[in-house]
Amino acid sequence: MAPRNQPHHFSMLRRSGAEAGLYAADGARKYLNERERRRVLIAMHALPADRALFALTLAWTGARVSEVLALSAVSFQIGRGVVAIRTLKRRRHMVREVPIPPELMAALDRHFGIAEAQRDAARAHVRLWPWCRETAWRIIKNVMLASGVWGSPACPRGLRHAFAVGALQAGVPLNLVQRWLGHARIETTAIYAAACGPEEHAFAARFWHVNDNHATTKGSRASRSDHARQPRRRH
């Protein structure tokens, strides 16, 4: 039985072996860690403007490639700093609102003229990125490789996983991350809480420190004891 202060979905998470969602069958990690994500974001800024904005929108919304490719001018609320994303993996029509950094919103508006396009019926619903999924996937794959990221995380899904893990580790409530990702079940979102975060490192560091002090103290006592047992030399 789970402790009273532990949410029910976390007890379910542990019973179902949620780590399997963050790792491939061969044990390879699927998500970008904090350092990898930082390198990838820096590399994205070096891309041509349209590709950079696509990649950054993907990284800061946690959306799927097809969901970002479907965005048009009407998808953005510039004043609120929000993008409305249609969740494509749900049977019924569903749109979720995801906040994005103000710098990204301003850059999108400058490059695509979003505010102006919203006032033009002919442009308002035109996709910002008229690419196929393969082209978009290749852009992300190349920026991953340029950032030194290889294997399972080096793909658009790795960015989505990194968004979820990073948001939870930054203290964003689980139900809010669920909504941003467009998950139907909160248990799906809870999988990302299994990643080892900074709080766990802090607890572990305390444990290491306590044991280091204990070992050092025992070593010092043993050294003094051995010294005391040594016979004194006669002069």
Domain ranges of the chain: 8-194, 196-235
Going from the C-alpha of 64 to that of each of 105, 125, 157, the distances in angstroms are 18, 19, 7
> Residue 142, Cβ neighbours under 10 Å: how many?
15
Express each pLDDT in 167-176 by its tens digit: 999 999 999 9
Terminal Cα-to-Cα distance of the chain (whole angstroms): 71
**Average confidence score pLDDT of the chain:** 86
How far is residue 127's CA from residue 112's CA, in Å, rounded to a whole number?
10
Is the pTM for the entire model greater than 0.75?
Answer: yes
Express each pLDDT in 31-86 by its tens digit: 999 999 999 999 999 999 999 999 999 999 999 999 999 999 999 999 999 999 99
Confidence of residue 202 (pLDDT cuts 50, 70, 90): confident
How far is residue 144's CA from residue 136's CA, in Å, rounded to a whole number?
13
With a cut of 80, say whether residue 1 has pLDDT above it. Answer: no
Select 8-194's CATH number: 1.10.443.10, 1.10.1660.10, 3.30.200.20, 1.25.10.10: 1.10.443.10
In terms of phi and psi (left: phi > 0; alpha: psi -120 to 50; beta: otherwise), the region of 171 is: left
30 Cβ contact partners less than 8 Å away, ≥ 6 residues apart: 21, 22, 23, 24, 152, 153, 157, 158, 161
Name the residue with higher pLDDT: 156 or 27. 156
Q: Residue 231 gets which letter from DSSP?
A: P
Name the residue with higher pLDDT: 199 or 29. 29
Q: State both tokens at 184.
A: 């139907």
Please report which helix (H) or strand (E) contains residue 57, including its range: helix 49-61
